[in-house]
Amino acid sequence: MRDLLSEIFENEPLDPTEAARRAVRPRLRKRFYERAHVGAGEGGFALLLDDKPVKTPARRALSAPSRALAGALADEWNAQTEVIDPAKMPLTRLANVAIDAVADKHKEVAAEIENYLGNDLLFYRAEGPAGLVERQTQRWDPVLAWARDELGARFVLGQGVMPVTQPREAVAAAAQKIPAEAWRLAAIASVTTLTGSALLALALAHTVLDAEAVWAAAHVDEDWQMAQWGRDELALARRAFREAELEAAALVLEHAR
């Protein structure tokens, strides 16, 4: 995980499994509003709580670039019951990142995503067993074929964990598809950190894969291990929390155009 993206996302609340492991009890604020809805806002569609605008942690207006996204934010706030639980509000957390962090660090965030393109998850293949190799091929090769045919980016594959140096031309060609708009950039940064793959993030952004396929591709190795040795319930609970984050990013990529 790159330092910059870790810095941007470090203020997100712990997922429930991690909180339990550290014996952390987050202090949740009681719900203080009757309803959340959408109104006019700075540069877009504002989230309103009882007709009052909402501010991000950096005291900026929480406004979305489309009514659909603002409506999804309102739905998230309306879904809170007695308390406001940030762990159950992945879209709001991502919106805060887009507005407070990514908007001011566009070049740095794009550069870190580009760095992932030089060391992407999809480049490193297992030497065996045959079943795992086949699953990696099925899930990963179509994305690499898309990068080659549509982006003009021909990447080099390796086996094991030894680093593979990628052609600069391939990295540069794929990097041209990293968006400039803050919300989409934040979503791609989120998917990249969640999956370890900038190519999967770009494939999601360009509708080559949907969120479910991206998530499955990112967990080929983990799913194989569980198929051989049994389910890890703790890992699955943590994974469900992170999958909700990916779904929020997918929603942003769909509606922030």
pLDDT at 58: 87
Nearest to 190 by CA among 242, 124, 117: 242
**pLDDT classification of 1: cutoffs 50, 70, 90:** very low
Q: What is the pTM of this model?
A: 0.90
Indicate the length of the chain as a whole number.
257
CB 200 within 8 A of CB 214: yes
Residue 209, pLDDT above cutoff 80 = yes
Q: What are phi and psi of 115, to 5 degrees?
A: -60, -40
- For 117-148, the pLDDT digits (tens) are 999 999 999 999 999 999 999 999 999 999 99
| Domains within the chain, CATH numbers bracketed | 3-85 (3.30.2180.10), 106-255 (1.10.3580.10)
pLDDT in tens, 10-26: 444 456 555 555 555 66
Contacts of 139 (CB under 8 A, 6+ apart): 213, 216, 217, 220
